[in-house]
Chain A
Amino acid sequence: MAWSLSRSADGWSGLLVSLGLTALTFLVISLVTGWAGGIGWSLALLGAEYLLPVFFRGGSPDVWAPIVALGFLLIAELGWWSWELRLASLDEPAIYVRGALLTLSVGLVSALISAALLGTASLVTFAGLPMRVIGTGAMVALVSLVAVLALRGSNALATIRPRRPRGR
């Protein structure tokens, strides 16, 4: 993926290849050593590799962006699976199958939403202070929502109680 992204921009290929290689290195280190943060850094660098030529080229939104985003998600999920397999855990095959189906479903839905978003973006010009204010507000709202959900999720998890032995 890093290689294909670097080929998309003339003149930037050296820097982009470096970014891609660095991302790959982070990913490999993460999987080999079990460093969890490496996967995130690897994806961030890949994202930078993709966004730099897009930003400097300008013009209309990249129509391949949803596919690239889906690829990023797959990289992240596969990376996490590999990272989790480092632990001495032997899971049932059904867990992997359901996890893969769930990830693909979410990825496809988000790709569809992204495509719709890009379609809207090509029709409407996003510029000016009002749009910036709206965007910032939306981002703050989104992050707040995630934080609230995360807090609720951590408080509302299971209560495990041992079952009393019968007949005693």
Chain B
Amino acid sequence: MPRNGSHTRSGGGGELTRQVTTSPKLRTYVALSGFGLLAALALGRPEPLVLALPFVAMLFAGLALAEDPTLSLEVNLERETALEGEEVGLAVRVSSDTSVEWLQVLMPIPVGLEAAGPRALRGIRLVRAEQRELTYKLMCRRRGAYLLGGCLVSAGDRFGFFVLRRWAGQRRMLRVYPRPESLRGLIKPIETQLFAGNEVSSRKGDGIEFADVRPYAAGDRIRHINWRLSTRLGELHVNELHPERNSDVVIFLDSFAEVRDAGQSTLDLAVRAAAAFAEQYLKRRDRVGLISFGGSLRWLEPSMGVVQLYKIVEALLDTEIVLSYVWTAIDVIPPHTLPAKALVIALTPLVDERSIDALFNLRSRGFDLAVVEVDPDPFVVPLEDERGRLAYRLWLLKREVIRDRFRRLGVPVARWRLGDPVDGALEGVRSFRRYARPVHA
């Protein structure tokens, strides 16, 4: 989000100045040559000299033929954006004005990306003025903004006596966006705003959806007269309509804590759902805002349009768990981030007291709140012993109590499990809201 700038994950190991190292082979050959020459002198015989001679010859040849190559590196990404689970090609074009006998280009891959296909580490030979292209395939495992292109280049001489290393290549940014969850329906807000949108307001006014009929009053438009009813009753009646309005939706992303296994986490699921919600609500011309409530508080004020969608998705890229023991209350959120009558959709694993307390606080302030619980159960492996099982059961009971507290306040809590479509969870919210109305805490 704009407050914090962008955090990028880099695979580079920092800037290393040009470094020339001698290999253990050079040192060994020097030692063997010296040993042979000394032995020849000490023993007064030519055989030690003869034994040392090939090593001396190798040293002379290697040192005399060492060249000073000028390498050029160009790093190109197939594309700069991708979705989670997609593959992106990366090409490193390298050329030299002299022959390089052994050249290795090592590109560190940031966590969240994986090398796909054959092994990426290759030693190649580069002849004078030749241009070679090394291609890599990267599998985008996790959302994020990644800095790629910093290559550790190692160039060796003919005999492997010297190795030159340095970081080279331009940095390229790869943005991996969260894989969107499919959504068929959305949560309807209880209250709508003033601007035109796709949401049928519960109020009456100019619109398309029929609401009610009432006796004609001075000033009513003629085209609103219900002629059939007026003829039957002998008195003019007009149709009342529901106007189509937009709504304010604030996506509340709990980033205090996550439960994760090797591949996925509750935060990753929440981010995917948040991106899908933002996209769908913005399509309906609603205003959508984002609050990432965690160790670092970040927010985006509600707004409309494609630009807002890009802002939200960019902000979601950088959303991470920031460990903090500070008790953060809802008061720290700027008031204009939470407009009145806004629908607040909370995406939370319900594991951190601070976010749970903040949600209760929001409800007590009269916000239209719906909780989509990103279920941490699939990520939890209870201990095998009796105490472990007991602790697990207590933990489940405690979570059930929290859910029940929300429901008693009229807040729907839908459990969304890993592998299930988020639509199923939303259906639970919709059916709850059909019959329940929020009560003030």
A residues in contact (CB < 8 Å) with B: 36-37, 39-40, 43-44, 47, 50-51, 54-55, 61-62, 65-66, 68-70, 72-73, 76, 80, 84, 88-92, 94-95, 98-99, 102-103, 106-107, 109-111, 113-114, 117-118, 121, 126-127, 132, 135-136, 139, 142-143, 145-146, 149-150, 152-163, 165
Docked CA distance A95–B99 (Å): 12
Total interface residues on B, CB under 8 Å, equals 75
Interface hit among B16-24, B208-216, B300-308 = B16-24
28 pairs, A vs B, C-beta closer than 8 Å: A40-B28, A47-B39, A51-B43, A55-B45, A66-B50, A69-B53, A73-B55, A76-B28, A76-B29, A76-B55, A88-B119, A90-B121, A92-B122, A92-B125, A95-B124, A98-B125, A127-B44, A139-B37, A139-B38, A146-B63, A150-B26, A153-B62, A153-B157, A157-B155, A157-B164, A159-B68, A161-B168, A163-B93
Q: How far is the CB of B251 from chain A (nearest CB, A)?
A: 36
Docked CA distance A129–B88 (Å): 73
| Residues on the B chain within 8 Å of A106, using CB | 54, 57-58, 61
With A110-B57, A153-B66 as known contacts, state yes or no: A44 contacts B47, CB within 8 Å: no
Docked CA distance A61–B51 (Å): 12
Report yes or no: A102 in contact with B159, Cβ–Cβ below 8 A.
Answer: yes
With A153-B162, A157-B20 as known contacts, state yes or no: A162 contacts B50, CB within 8 Å: no
With A91-B122, A159-B70 as known contacts, state yes or no: A51 contacts B44, CB within 8 Å: no
B57, closest chain A residue (CB): A110
With A50-B51, A91-B122, A118-B50 as known contacts, state yes or no: A84 contacts B28, CB within 8 Å: no
Docked CA distance A66–B119 (Å): 41
Partner of A72, one of B44, B46, B51, B153: B51
Partner of A132, one of B41, B46, B51, B158: B41
Q: How far is the CB of B124 from chain A (nearest CB, A)?
A: 5
B32 within 8 A of A: yes
Docked CA distance A161–B50 (Å): 43
Partner of A114, one of B43, B53, B168, B169: B53
| Residues on the A chain within 8 Å of B27, using CB | 40
| Residues on the B chain within 8 Å of A84, using CB | 160
| Residues on the B chain within 8 Å of A66, using CB | 50
Within 8 A of A (CB), among B183-208: none
Docked CA distance A103–B29 (Å): 13
Report yes or no: B41 in contact with A117, Cβ–Cβ below 8 A.
Answer: no
Docked CA distance A107–B57 (Å): 8
| Residues on the B chain within 8 Å of A99, using CB | 158, 160
B76, closest chain A residue (CB): A165
Report yes or no: B73 in contact with A160, Cβ–Cβ below 8 A.
Answer: yes
Report yes or no: A47 in contact with B36, Cβ–Cβ below 8 A.
Answer: yes
Besides A55-B45, A113-B53, A157-B68, 12 more A-B contacts (Cβ < 8 Å) are A54-B45, A68-B50, A89-B121, A91-B123, A95-B102, A106-B61, A118-B46, A149-B60, A153-B157, A158-B100, A160-B168, A165-B170
B33 within 8 A of A: yes
Report yes or no: B47 in contact with A135, Cβ–Cβ below 8 A.
Answer: no
Report yes or no: B46 in contact with A121, Cβ–Cβ below 8 A.
Answer: yes
B69 within 8 A of A: yes
B164, closest chain A residue (CB): A157
B399 within 8 A of A: no
| Residues on the B chain within 8 Å of A149, using CB | 59-60, 63-64
B74 within 8 A of A: yes
With A98-B101, A149-B63 as known contacts, state yes or no: A156 contacts B68, CB within 8 Å: yes
Report yes or no: A136 in contact with B70, Cβ–Cβ below 8 A.
Answer: no
- The 8 A-B residue pairs with the shortest CB-CB distance in the complex, in nearest-first order: A91-B123, A36-B24, A149-B63, A40-B28, A73-B54, A110-B57, A110-B54, A153-B66
| Residues on the A chain within 8 Å of B180, using CB | none
Report yes or no: A70 in contact with B54, Cβ–Cβ below 8 A.
Answer: yes
| Residues on the A chain within 8 Å of B315, using CB | none
B95, closest chain A residue (CB): A163
B49 within 8 A of A: yes
Partner of A95, one of B22, B34, B54, B125: B125
Docked CA distance A103–B69 (Å): 22
Report yes or no: A162 in contact with B119, Cβ–Cβ below 8 A.
Answer: no
Docked CA distance A6–B197 (Å): 96
The winner among B32, B47, B70 for most chain A CB atoms within 10 A is: B47
B10 within 8 A of A: no
The winner among A65, A76, A153, A160 for most chain B CB atoms within 10 A is: A160
Docked CA distance A143–B34 (Å): 7
Report yes or no: A158 in contact with B68, Cβ–Cβ below 8 A.
Answer: yes
Docked CA distance A165–B73 (Å): 10
Report yes or no: A47 in contact with B123, Cβ–Cβ below 8 A.
Answer: no
Q: How far is the CB of A70 from chain B (nearest CB, A)?
A: 7
B367 within 8 A of A: no
Report yes or no: B168 in contact with A157, Cβ–Cβ below 8 A.
Answer: no
Report yes or no: A50 in contact with B32, Cβ–Cβ below 8 A.
Answer: no
Docked CA distance A43–B34 (Å): 13
Report yes or no: A51 in contact with B54, Cβ–Cβ below 8 A.
Answer: no
With A55-B45, A109-B57, A126-B44 as known contacts, state yes or no: A158 contacts B28, CB within 8 Å: no
